[in-house]
Amino acid sequence: MADPVTAGEGREPSTAADGAISVRRALISVSDKTGVVDFARGLSRLGVEIVSTGGTAAALREADLEVLDVAELTGSPEILDGRVKTLHPRLHAALLAARDDPEHMETLEAEGIDPIDLVCVNLYPFERTVARLQVSETEAVENIDIGGPTMIRAAAKNHRFVAVVVRPESYDAVLAELEDSDGRVSAETRHWLANEAFALTAQYDAAISRWYGLRYEAFPGHWVMPHEKFLDLSYGENPHQKAALYVEVGARSHVLSRVSKRHGRALSFNNVLDLDAARRVLDDLEPAACVIVKHNNPCGVAIGEQANDAYEKALACDPLSAFGGVIALNRSVDGALAERLHEHFIEVLIAPAYDQDALEVLKQKEAIRLLEATEQRDYEPRERDVKRVRGGLLVQ
């Protein structure tokens, strides 16, 4: 293990002519430890020295991995119950030094600092914490990460020389590239990782700002609504357009929460709009009910003793407009109802469940999308309604 006092001496340049960097030292400090042991083990197999902190270091040592405590690197112990452990010039110099700047590298050598080539950090679960009902302000504040975003931003700023990994979903791809490239990470990958990193810290700060703002003001001076991509859609409002569904970070439910696809192609922009409208109407109906929506407008809504009755009544409201629509039911679909549904062109059908006979009938049509909603009445009450207008938002 490198001596932190002399670590910077004689280190060969880590950046190749093609822009790839060699990863020789990694800093790992994560709140979400999903997959981190396997990631660290893969780095260790490649000869990468691992620097870590607190609970992450303990988890890695428990897996028989050799780890250098960040306190050994900085020369300073953790203080204030762990609130200050990575906020140190020696650590951030190792992250921010430009490897092609002779003065920077001379400074590192003079200070005995070895550069850090890869940073694996994720953040305290602030969004998950404040999403819980009745969370106290003290608990929320204790889940505001300070050192994590600082390390992430430093590494992302210096992505010409440092790879920054902030999502467990990226571990396998990064490790595969290192294994296939003799321990190197390409400039293209580092740029992509830096973008992920800045997006994460922006989202994190936005969630904090939104929570504080809406806690004390109905209409705060800045309206911040962080969203993350949930699903790529088959096309937009028109077939030549591309589209994706983004969901609000921290929301306890959304249009496709607890929904699984049983059959059919990917959803389109219009499908999701119509599904949202249908589920909002259905959410207010307790008896067996059916809602048919076309172009974001209900063209049939009915209740009945059973799902079959509700469907027949809803279809009778406007059979012409129902062609190619979205149908939402709050009761299971059996074989008999499936036979009736099979007689019409349906874009999307959503229901709590389908029996085997129903699936066999409905799957005969390739075009239909069959969705299963595992929980009905899934919408949380909206405290505020937001509508887009040109160049802005209306909030009520």
Residues forming the active site: 157, 295
Distance, in Å, from the CA atom of 232 to the CA atom of 228, rounded to the nearest integer, reads: 12
DSSP per residue over 130-170, as a string?
HHSTT--HHHHHHT--SHHHHHHHHHHHTTTT-EEE--GGG
Q: Which of 6, 10, 35, 40 is nearest to 23 (CA)?
A: 40
CB of 148 closer than 8 Å to CB of 31: yes
Residue in this structure with the two tokens 């309604």, named with its chain if needed: 385
CB of 156 closer than 8 Å to CB of 94: no
Q: How many CA atoms lie within 13 A of 229 on its CB side?
A: 7
- The residues, ordered by sequence, that sit 6+ positions from 115 with a Cβ below 8 Å of its Cβ are 8, 11, 14, 25, 94, 97, 99, 108, 161
- In this structure, what are the phi and psi dihedrals at residue 83, rounded to the nearest 5 degrees? -65, -30
Q: Which of 51, 7, 38, 43 is nearest to 22 (CA)?
A: 43
CB of 131 closer than 8 Å to CB of 252: yes
- Secondary structure (3-state) at 82: coil
Distance, in Å, from the CA atom of 367 to the CA atom of 358, rounded to the nearest integer, reads: 16
Tokens (6 digits) for 323 = 């062609």
Tokens (6 digits) for 78 = 């953790």
